[in-house]
Structure 1
């Protein structure tokens, strides 16, 4: 069974929401245009008619104007180039489907990666990199250190051939990820952020 790409390799080629959002001049100009639109009024039919370049991403509500505005509310991490929406999660015991070869229980998350229709694709986005670049899972059960959980094997074989597939601008692709639990009672805190800032965090009960 294939496993999720090694963490070291992913970090070597990964990029956060801020990195991909601010790297190109195209995104910057798009963000400036979006900001002006927000200052004048909320999105309306008249604005849409007068500005054909208005971001479809903002209209959909799944994205934010700039990378600096990224947020995570426990369900969706909103970025300007791409966003990640959690659709389900559950604990899988050793030997159960999705954790057939593990020795410890895992918490698995199912999610969609949505790429903005306006993204210039300067750095192609795939579901695995989009998650690993922005999330870490923690169980706060150690008095001396932050207990960041290890990534486990892919919990859903339906994503075996698409976990590293490039997503087109405007496209959405589903994927899953799992983490090895270090106890069976402490909630898992999912922290979203990059190297310089935190976008938000949420607790997930072990059930």
Structure 2
């Protein structure tokens, strides 16, 4: 039941982050007699949106993966039947928007494990791998502040690497991917 409530709250919070990935273009309106043209105002994509060296950054949020670990089925907080790949991370809210650690992660990342010859294998989010974040994972982060959290994914096997794909927010363009070997 707790997991369903958490997922519901996360989805609602994630909707608020959906706008994080959209880009803004400003145009200047001028009188008809003027010959000025539209001016695009934005940072270069390479600086504004990126995912490399365990750091994903979009306009409103920065997420830094600090560690990862495989948790076998039935061990620690993993009461499920599948092993988990857990990620610990820090989230920085670069705006005054309501952003929490769980929603920030879910708005940016999707995990895949290439265990099928014919289909993409998107991994399901697993249980919270670290109980110390139970009461803070959905708390809003103040502007320019950083909060820590953890997330896990249910693995299909413990040998095939996991590909973490980052996007500019929910349904946003892909900004990068990284491969994580299972240790």
> SS where residue 3 of structure 1 aligns?
helix
Alpha carbons 1:11, 1:133 under 8 Å: kept = no
- 1:12-49 deviation digits (Å, cap 9, x = unpaired): 54148772265899xxxxxx5x85xxxxxxxxxxxxxx
Contact 1:93–1:105 (8 Å) recurs in 2:
yes
Does the 8 Å contact 2:10/2:138 carry over to 1?
Answer: no
1:157 aligns with 131
Whose helix fraction is larger, Structure 1's or Structure 2's?
A: 1
| Cα distance in 2 between the residues matched to 1:188 and 1:97 | 21
Distance of aligned partners of 1:97 and 1:152 in 2 relative to their CA distance in 1, 3 Å threshold: same
Q: 2:50 aligns with which of 66, 71, 74?
A: 71
- Counterpart-to-counterpart distance in 1, 2:46 and 2:143: 17
Q: CA deviation at 1:169?
A: 0.2
RMSD across aligned positions (CA): 2.8
Contact 1:73 1:200 in 2 (8 A): yes
Q: Does the aligned pair in 1 maintain the 2:13–2:99 contact within 8 Å? A: no
Long gaps (5+) in structure 1? 26-31, 36-64
1:142 Cα deviation from its structure 2 partner:
0.5
CA distance in 1 between partners of 2:58 and 2:172 (Å): 15
2:90 aligned residue (97, 112, 126): 112
Question: Is the 2:20–2:58 Cα contact (8 Å) retained in structure 1?
Answer: no
